[in-house]
Amino acid sequence: MAKLHIFYNYNEDKVILKDNLKVKIDDATEFEIEKYEEKEIELENGKHNIKMYVPYMNGSFGFASEDIEINNEDLFYYYKSPLLYSQKGKFIKVNNSEDFLNQKKKNKLMSTIFLITAIIIILWSMFY
């Protein structure tokens, strides 16, 4: 057995998306991950199919599917939502826990930069 770590890398430009990431493992285990959060799941050794999407209106957005293999070693992945609604999401493997943590920090920093930029643009447009 080993743990699968999944981080939900949410694109800030998708402000219309209010829902969490829905994850289904082997068409059996289902759970949700909140934006910028990590979920840790313990899985048996062997092959597993991971499916992810974000509910959007009456359908879904950013569907991604990946087959992974567990071999007594923790795996670290993050889900990245696409830039356009018509595109698929990405399920990206990270080499180790240190790279995983660095990716989480980077995403939170980018989120902060995006928010500050949006505030500056709004304030600038109010006065000019």
Q: Which domain holds residue 77?
A: 2-127
For residue 107, report the phi and psi dihedrals to the nearest 5 degrees.
-65, -40
User: Residue 100: is its pLDDT beyond 90?
Assistant: no
- Residue 48: predicted pLDDT: 95
Structural domain count of the chain: 1
Instruction: Assign 105 a pLDDT band (cuts: 50, 70, 90).
Output: confident
- pLDDT surpassing 90 at residue 103: no
CB 51, CB 43: distance < 8 Å: no
Higher-scoring residue by pLDDT: 61, 71: 71
Cβ–Cβ under 8 Å, residues 54 and 61: yes
The answer, yes or no, to whether residue 12 has pLDDT greater than 80, is no
pLDDT digits (tens, 9 = 90+) for 39-70: 999 999 999 999 998 887 777 788 999 999 99
The pLDDT mean for the chain works out to: 82
As a whole number of angstroms, the distance between CA 37 and CA 49 comes to 21
Q: How many helices (H) and strands (E) does the chain have?
A: 1, 8
Number of CB atoms found within 10 A of residue 128's CB: 5
CATH number where 21 lies: 2.60.40
